[in-house]
Structure 1
Amino acid sequence: MEPLLGFLMIFFIGLLSLIGLFMISMKERTLDRILFILIAFATGTILASALFDLVPESIHHLEELNAGGSNIALSLVFTFVIIGFVVFFIIERFIYWFHGHAHEKEDKYVCYETITGDNDLAINKGRNIKSFALLNLIGDGLH
């Protein structure tokens, strides 16, 4: 019964990923409001998973390795948690340094290299798969 329930849950979660298809047809203003809420929800989910599951599990495993009685496991884990917060804060600040709202010229030509190698008007042809799409599919498959 458990394998069937596991399969059904994975199938249900896979169906939830199709919500992105509906977001393509939304107005940009509505999409911006919804994306703000969804990003906040995703961030909270990742933080809750890390703080309530991964951190206690890592403390437990380090205490097993360090059965001598010292509290090095607790201080080591929380040191790495704080270092992680600081590193991501610095990365976020660094990214905003290069963010700007300057408008570029509209007559800029864009051309992407495709799998077949012909990059002449590859965007307008619509039949070639872009390199990024291929890398994305490979990454999702490995994940």
Structure 2
Amino acid sequence: MTPLTLCLLATLVGGLLSVGVALLTTASMSRSTLSRLVSYATGALLAAAFFNVLPEAIHESGNAQETTSLVLAGIVTFFLLEKLVIWHHDHGQAASDASVVHGHHQGRGDVEVGRGGLLMMLGDTFHNFVDGILVAAAFQQDVSLGLVTAVAIVAHEIPQELGDFVVLLHAGCSRRRAMAFNLLSSLAMTLGAGLAWLALPLMDGAVPVCLALACASMTYVAMADLIPSLHRHPSLGATVQQLALMGAGMASVAGAHELLELVSVH
């Protein structure tokens, strides 16, 4: 199987897996289940970023200062992008409230799906497209790095898709419609990977930059989006469980990388 086939298959299976898990678990999902998934995803993302992606980016660029500067710039950029999404969402919600005051009432589901739900899905689609680019960049560098990157991204996508699914259902969207939205959004990862595979070889020095941005993206998502949700459960028992699951996420990524390296040698 060629690296391109593996890359496209990894993004396709990963996207379908995340949507499938979201569909199967939303009916009976508990807070503790979601918390466990988030803890594991946090560990997997951080391990992939610092054990695999960042060292490879530094090796490829040959300039640690330049690479770490790109990672820092990427983290700040993702902060600004997320702030922009929040700003648009807040203004959209304010406009919805104003329409109710002036007598143009919409149902709660219509408002959420038409504004907040659409914005959420557009943002998730773009995020999946970028994830596909990052996976393709990793696969072009090394198959084992690509697989580890894909696994780490899918580990994050599962709780994210669960969250998206819950938001859409809460907004009044049917399960079938919510599944269709999430499925189309997940396919953007495969599209991004395919386009990137064709474009990246024509862009000199693009792979180290993409790897640095991948590290920034993984780090930012883990630290800004996932870890704050873990702090909602501050008890000692919950903290110990979270640390154990984060450790399991880190160990699984590190172990997968070592196993893939061993297989590739033989």
TM-score using structure 2 length: 0.29
Q: Which structure shows the bigger proportion of residues in helix conformation? A: 2
| Superposition TM-score, scaled by structure 1 size | 0.48
